[in-house]
Amino acid sequence: MFEEWLTPEQIASDIQQEADHIRADYEGRVPLFVVVLNGAFVFAADLLRRLHDLRCEVTFLRVSSYWGMASTGELQFIVPLQQSVKGRDVIIVEDIVDTGMTIHQLKAHMRAEGAATVRVATMLFKPDKLEYNDARPDYVGRQIANEFVIGYGLDLDGFARNLDAIYKIKN
Ligand code: IMP
């Protein structure tokens, strides 16, 4: 029911271009990449190796897709930040920005923790689904229509993260 949609070569080309934009913007600075687990691990590994010439640090966090009590609006951290972002140029690394809720919340969290700047690099972006304007990503591998995709870190009920291409539902 899924069909291959982006080949490994197309994905590699998207990531190369994105890495080039980041390198140009952060030359001479020392950004801290904050990788959002689980989905972003494949993308982050490729993106960061294409930035081998940029001095930087990398850390990870994991948030729940279940947001709990909506009234609190608080992020549920399954794996909290392991490293201080105070005074740092933070680049959040996401697999895909959909409604933007995750990024909206994470950006607020980074600012509350004292980050100097916060930008977002994502592999895929669904602009038609965006509900939080401040979650519009700064670096995008590819904009896509409102479709559910899997592979390359993106899962369906925990599976398909290890596929080296990206698949979409066959119409
Ligand atoms: P947002 O908070 O609505 O932007 O959702 C972001 C998260 O939803 C991503 O990090 C993914 O885990 C998940 N997600 C959104 N769209 C897809 C998709 O097409 N395939 C797999 N996961 C998705």
Catalytic entry in 14, 46, 95, 98:
98
* Tokens coding 91: 């680049």
CA of 27 to the centre of ligand 1 (A): 30
* Tokens coding 56: 């930087």
Probe residue for ligand 1, chosen from 36, 98, 102 as the CB with the greatest number of ligand atoms within 8 Å = 98
**Please, which pLDDT band fits residue 65 given cuts at 50, 70 and 90?**
low
Work out the average pLDDT over 49-53. Answer: 98
Q: What percent of the chain has pLDDT over 70?
A: 94
- DSSP E strands, the chain: 2-6, 32-37, 57-63, 77-79, 89-97, 117-125, 139-143, 149-150, 166-169
Q: What pTM does this model have?
A: 0.95
pLDDT digits 0-9 by tens, 107-139: 999 999 999 999 999 999 999 999 999 999 999
Cα distance between residue 168 and residue 171, in whole Å:
9
Q: Which residue is it, tokens 């680049």?
A: 91
Where are the chain's structural domains? 2-169
The domain 2-169 is placed in CATH, from the list 3.40.50.2020, 3.30.1360.20, 3.20.20.70, 3.40.50.360, at 3.40.50.2020
**Please, which pLDDT band fits residue 71 given cuts at 50, 70 and 90?**
very low
Ligand 1 pocket (Cβ < 6 Å) reads: 39, 94-102, 148-150, 154
Q: What DSSP line would sit under 65-107, residue for residue?
A: S----TTTT---EEE---S--TT-EEEEEEEEESSSHHHHHHH
